Amino acid sequence: MSPVLAAFGLDKLSVPERMLLVDELWESIAADEERVPLTDAQRADLQRRLDAIDADPSRGSTWAEVKARLLGSR
């Protein structure tokens, strides 16, 4: 386990507790998304993807479809 995790006592948490912590940390980052910098290349790629789905929505997949494909591949 990394020294950082040990320094905060996180090494004593169970796997489910650490997973919950990761989720809560991610949610806290997402809530402050305007402070997460994107590179120009990332911004351009996101715009390209948005433009592509706007031009032809049938090209994309819903979350339910993606999840079913992923779970079906197990």
Report pLDDT digits (tens) over 50-72: 999 999 988 888 889 999 999 98
Residues 10-33: tens digit of each pLDDT:
999 999 999 999 999 989 988 887
Q: Which residues contact 68 (CB under 8 A, 6 or more apart)?
A: none
d(CA 25, CA 15): 15
- Total-model pTM: 0.47
Residue 34, pLDDT score: 80
Domain boundaries, the chain: 1-36, 38-74
